[in-house]
Every structure is written in structure tokens, then in C-alpha cells.
Chain A
Amino acid sequence: MPLLEIRNLVVRYGEIEALRGVTIAVEQGQVVTLLGANGAGKSTTLRAISGLAKPASGDIMFDGHSIAGLGPEAIVRLGISHVPEGRRVFPGLTVKENIMLGASNRKVSASQISREADAMFDLFPDIRAFSNALGWTLSGGQLQMVAVARGLMAKPRLLLLDEPSLGLAPVIVQAVFRIISQIRKDTTVLLVEQNARMGLSVADHGFVLETGRIVLGGKPDELWGNEAIAAAYLGGHAKTHA
């Protein structure tokens, strides 16, 4: 049984049908990457899983139970942590406070949370020095580190990562992806990326979304091998790099 299984998911924003029957499965221990152009429905898929968007029809099964229609507070308590687009680090709280609040879905003492947050800096040494800096003072790369660290504080069984590479310098993108490949040892990851090359480099499985539908799914090698996909999403020189 897959850890996460989405069947025929339809999500509407008013008149607009953002997802038109999406079906994907994520196995325990995998990193699955969702590729697609702007507006294809990648973020909406993650928002539906974490409870921010209500499904119009279809089902979302987590660990064998339907979670479609539950609110975000209930879903994160079940063990799905969503690091949304734009990082959304609380600007008026410090880095450490932001990270500590990531444990709000668990019943643990404040001192325990503080210790866990300190330990989190081992995985993210680059932001350790900014522990007491307010969120709004950080750079994009630092914000991304804080956002992922905060997401991990939930001790999720499934981590949803939305465009972690967006707007970051290449060297920072590589640092972020190094962290993702470390996380995967303990956590199942569903990753949304526009940067297909990076996204597939860490993935066990990939899906391609196009205007609210899954048009292709497979192992990274198979996706690389598909001429149409390579041309559409991986750029003209994709094959030579692959």
C-alpha cells in the first residue's frame, strides 16, 4: 500500500478547474517529484494534500485513510508537513522561534522543542549563526533552509516541498538539494519543481502535470528518455546533459 495515494482529484478555484482528475501514488521511503510548467497545478496538488485547498471530488488516502476534506491543522498532526511556495517564514519571529513552531503539531514540552531546534542546526549549519535573527532579515537561501528545518520539526512521515529552488543562486540550490538527499533517509518526500533537472536528480519517481492532469509518470531515466518531455520541460539541450 502506498503511503500517499491520490485518486481522480479535482480542485476548483471558483470557475477555474485547477486539477482535473489527478492520480498519483507515493511509496513509503521514496522521493517523488512533480514536474510541470507554471499553472499546471503542482502547488494546488500539494495544497489539496495539506488541507489548504478543498477537493471538489476524488480522494486522498494517507496511510490507508482518507484525509480529503480535513483541515490543515488535523492533517499535519497525522504526519504530513507542507513547506509551501514562498517559504512563508514568520518575519517578526527569530530563526530559532520559527523552527520551534514547526513542532506545533506534536505534544512535547517547550524545553524539548528547544533542544530539537538546536539539533536541527546540525543539518542546517549555514543558518546556525542566524539563530536569533528575525525572519525578515534573511536572504532567500537562508529562508529556504529555515522553512525546510521548520517543516522537519513536525517529524513528518511525508514532507511536501514546493519549489525549494525558486529564486535561489545555483550554489544555494545545490545546498538545498544536498539536504533533500539527506532527509530522504528518514522521510518520504513529495517534491514540486520547475527545475526538472534538479528535481529528477534526487527522485525515485517523477510525474509530469499539464493543465491539471498527469500526462506522464515514471522513473527519472524513463522521463529523460521521453523526447516530448525532454523538449517541453528539460530544455533543448536536455539530452546532452542527461
Chain B
Amino acid sequence: MDLVLQLLFTGIGIGAVYALVALGFVLIFRATNVVNFAQGEFSMVAAYLMVVFSVDLGWPYWLSFLIALAGMALFGVIFNLGVYYPLRNRTYLPVIIATIGASILLSNSVLAIYGPQPQVLQGWFDTPGIQLGPVYLDSQYLLIIGVTILLVLFNFWFFEKTLLGKKLQATSQDKEMASLLGISVSTMIMITFIYSAVLGGLAGILVAPVLFVSIQMGSTIALKAFAATIIGGFGDVAGAIVGGLALGVIETFGAAYISVPYKDGFAFLVLIAFLVFRPQGIFGERVAEKA
């Protein structure tokens, strides 16, 4: 039982990272109808920004964190203008190819600068963790879970309670109609890219001390996050969060009870099972969000 609780904690912690990246996937997908294959690189770039400011330049952790997030917001602007905007009136295919191209460009640029050796980024807290009864709560996982809860609450408030959130939803449901009402569609998509880049960046910075900072970290996280969106129900915000958490828990238990080397395999086994037996995912595709 103690082990189960311990694994549950770790699983939710890593699952929260998948959930954040999956949320970024879903938001961009809903705004542009395109899957952003560079979503994982958003996390990777942010983690390397942390390495630049916190490790290389030796700036305080909190300052590096804020600058890295601001950098990710700027990165979202550049990504939108460079990758999506020029192709916005084309079909989805050129845009998808462009995001794949951007993903390759980003990881190879970082490779050229930092080389293939993984970098180490320390966690936010000096204390490694606390013992709560039978469960050891790692401080970095606690931070990840806490930030994710806050972001999920923020996300709900933003999209359900603010007029800007409603405009973003309207834009994702019918761009032409949104423009007829005077909603600036290009501004709404810009906001989506910025938000999504910051979300992905946060996930990357939070998970970096748990994993190593490497050029592959983006694709590993993105694959899991992508699987999470399918398990949760593609295009569904709640589905992305639940799917991400579920995936983290499943792979942690799989690694502990079945096989450690096959840890990454469990996520995809679950993905395949969903694609075969319930392709619409846990939450299905709601009619409300179809258009």
C-alpha cells in the first residue's frame, strides 16, 4: 500500500507535465486546426533558456525562471509569425510540415550550441523533499503538481469567465463569423501561441530537474502528451489534463510492477488500446466543440 501511494504521487507528478504540454497541443489545435509538432521543442527551448540564465550566467533561480518564461512568450510570437502566419490561408498540410521543420531546426540549433551532452538543471528548492507518513514527497514533484493545479484553475477561469476567453473560443469554433463580429482573428491566434508556448515552457522548466536537459527531452514529452490528448479525447481541454495525469500514473505503475525498460512502452500500449476500442477518447468528441 505504501508503495502504491508513493507511485501514485510520482505518477501524478510526471503526468502533470504531460498534461501541461497536452493542454498546449489542444489549445493550438483548436485555434488553428493544426497539430503543432514542435510543441515538445517549446519545453526543450525553455529548459535550455533556464540553463543559460541559471547555470551559465549564474543568475538567481527565480529571475532566470521569469526571464525564461518571458522569453517563451516572445518565442510564441516569433513561432506564430514565422511558422503559422505565412501559411494561415493554406490547408492544414503545409502548416503541419512547417511545424515539423521548426521542430528539427530548433533541436539542431540547440545541438549546435550545447552539443549532445545532457545538461543538469537543479530544482527550485534546496530541500529534496518531505516525508509524509509512508510517502516521500519529492519537492520538485510537489512544485510540478502545485503549479499544474494553479494553471488548470487559471485556464478554466480564463476561458469560461472572461470575455477574451470567449472570443478565443469563438475564434476556434468559426473564424469567419468571429471576424464578422469584429474579433481580431490574428490577435486571438497570436494569444493562443503565446499562451501555449508559455505552458509548454513551464512544463519543460519544471520537469528539467527530474529528467536531464537534452535535445531529446522535447520529443519524449511531446509524444506522451500527444498520446494523452488522444486518450483524453482529441481537442478536449479536460481530456488533455485527465489523459496526461492518467498516462503518468499508468507508466509509473507499469515500470514498478511489470518492467522498467518498457516504461515508455506502456504509454503507447494504452494509446493503441484507446485507438482500437475507444478512438474518441475518455471524454469523446463533444458536439459542442465539433464546429
Contacts and interface: CB of A to CB of B under 8 A. Distances in A.
B108 interface: no
A90 B177 contact: yes
A104 B288 contact: no
B156 to A, nearest CB: 15
A219 B157 CA distance: 53
Interface stretch (B168-176, B226-234, B271-279): B168-176
A134 B166 CA distance: 13
Interface string A22-64: 0000000000000000000000000000101000000000000
A136 B288 contact: yes
A91 B290 contact: yes
**Residue among B169, B178, B180, B182 facing the most chain A CB atoms (10 A cut-off):** B180
A72 B288 contact: no
B173 A93 contact: yes
Interface string B161-194: 0110011011001101111111111000000000
Contacts of A82: 180
Chain A interface category by residue count: 20 to 34
Interface stretch (A94-102, A192-200, A207-215): A94-102
B288 A88 contact: no
Contacts of B286: 92
A113 interface: yes
Interface in B237-291: 286-291
Given A91-B287, A91-B291, A92-B289, A101 B170 contact: yes
Given A91-B287, A92-B288, A104 B181 contact: yes
Given A52-B180, A102-B181, A90 B169 contact: yes
**Residue among B169, B178, B182, B288 facing the most chain A CB atoms (10 A cut-off):** B182
A127 to B, nearest CB: 18
Contacts of A77: 182
Contacts of A97: 166
Contacts of B179: 52, 71-73
Query: Secondary structure at chain B's binding surface: helix, strand, loop or mixed?
Result: helix
B177 A84 contact: yes
B170 A93 contact: yes
A72 B169 CA distance: 19
A102 B183 CA distance: 9
Given A92-B288, A92-B289, A113-B163, A76 B180 contact: yes
A91 B287 CA distance: 8
B99 to A, nearest CB: 25
A123 interface: no
A54 B179 CA distance: 15
A163 to B, nearest CB: 15
Given A93-B166, A97-B166, A104-B167, A72 B180 contact: yes
A189 interface: no
A104 B182 CA distance: 5
**Residue among A82, A84, A104 facing the most chain B CB atoms (10 A cut-off):** A104
B166 A150 contact: no
B233 to A, nearest CB: 14
A11 B183 CA distance: 25
A170 B87 CA distance: 45
A165 interface: no
Contacts of B287: 91, 136
Contacts of B185: 73
A231 interface: no
A154 to B, nearest CB: 7
Given A92-B288, A134-B288, A104 B183 contact: yes
B26 to A, nearest CB: 14
Interface of B: 162-163, 166-167, 169-170, 173-174, 176-185, 286-291
Given A72-B180, A92-B291, A101-B163, 20 more contacts: A50-B180, A72-B176, A82-B180, A88-B174, A88-B176, A88-B177, A90-B170, A90-B177, A92-B173, A92-B289, A97-B166, A101-B166, A101-B167, A102-B181, A104-B167, A105-B181, A105-B182, A110-B163, A136-B288, A136-B291
19 contacts: A52-B180, A72-B179, A84-B177, A88-B177, A88-B180, A90-B174, A90-B177, A91-B287, A91-B289, A92-B288, A93-B170, A97-B166, A101-B163, A101-B181, A104-B167, A104-B181, A106-B182, A113-B163, A150-B181
* Leading 5 A-B pairs by shortest Cβ distance: A105-B182, A92-B288, A88-B177, A76-B182, A104-B182
